[in-house]
Amino acid sequence: MDLQLGGKRAIVTGASRGIGLAVATTLAAEGADVALVARDAAALDEAAAQVDAAGPGRVVAVPADTADDASVRAMVDTVAERLGGVDVLVNAAARPAGAGPLPSLTDLTDDDVRVELETKLLGYLRCARAAAPLMTAQGWGRIVNISGLNARKSTSLVGSVRNVAVASMTAALAQELGPRGVNVTVVHPGLTVTERIPGMIADRARERGVDETTVSAELDATTTIGRMITAQEVADVVAFLASPRSIAINGDTVAAGGGTPGVVHY
């Protein structure tokens, strides 16, 4: 299937590693021009070289902090100038789930929640707010927000709140922008194989006094396909949602975690 992404101009935040980098690489392979956005300029340049080798389109690296509105607006202006416009925005700049120990209610501070909302929810909103006018002016666009399956779990108050909030924001943006040609969707990855997974498995094995193969097997068993999904497999889903082919999906949540055992979502 031709995703019809050739020549589309995409911004991918959080693109220096993990799912964001996989998405940027996949969009480039589909023929899109891609702007990679992250805070670390050195890591971003390294990622851009990888993405540039994946496809025929233009690749630019634009350092920016999505927690700062002025930085976001300057980034979008730079991308629009260098690529000639913006057709696709993929929001993936966020702290990874489980980045630290989960505090109890009595130990949970306002800042524990605030930093997650500032980076993920408001960061995504800032990028959408800056890019959407360019899309609506041309009558076409796609915004894909990377959230997470913690939205469907009660294991992490902070993780659940930030991801539910992103899904709610997505639905609201879709209702406003959909009639103007811009579809907005949210993707919920589960635990995904990225650069950080080997270290996480080693840490859990050491804490529990078991070998790493035991931890890996337990993580694989959390999906209905019997293994963790890779960043590339999430990126394949995102690429479809970012394409003209996805017109039938707007405001909805797409789970991309390999299937959750024992639950029904409808």
Domain boundaries, the chain: 9-191+231-256, 194-227
| Measured CA distances, 219 to 153, 212, 213, 261 (Å) | 16, 11, 10, 12
pLDDT (tens digit, 0 to 9) for every residue of the chain, 266 residues total?
899 999 999 999 999 999 999 999 999 999 999 999 999 999 999 999 999 999 999 999 999 999 999 999 999 999 999 999 999 999 999 887 654 567 788 888 898 888 888 989 999 999 999 999 999 999 999 999 999 998 888 777 888 889 999 999 999 999 999 999 999 999 999 989 888 888 888 988 898 888 989 999 889 889 999 999 999 999 999 999 999 999 999 999 999 999 999 888 88
Q: Phi, psi (5° rounding) for residue 17?
A: -165, 175
Which letter does DSSP use for residue 5 in this model?
-
| pLDDT value of position 97 | 65
CA triple 108-109-115, angle to 5 deg: 110
| Measured CA distances, 241 to 14, 110, 220, 236, 244 (Å) | 18, 34, 26, 9, 8
Q: Phi, psi (5° rounding) for residue 183?
A: -90, 140
The pTM of this model reads: 0.94
Residues 100, 200: Cα–Cα separation, whole Å: 11
Residues 8, 215: Cα–Cα separation, whole Å: 41
Tokens encoding 74: 């300057």
| pLDDT value of position 1 | 86
Residues 160, 148: Cα–Cα separation, whole Å: 8
Q: Which CATH number fits domain 9-191+231-256: 3.90.1640.10, 3.40.50.720, 3.30.300.210, 2.60.260.20?
A: 3.40.50.720
Beta bridge partners of residue 142, listed in sequence order:
88, 183
Q: Shortest CA distance to 64 belongs to which of 90, 86, 44, 46? A: 44
Which letter does DSSP use for residue 141 in this model?
E
Express each pLDDT in 53-109 by its tens digit: 999 999 999 999 999 999 999 999 999 999 999 999 999 998 876 545 677 888 888
| pLDDT value of position 229 | 96
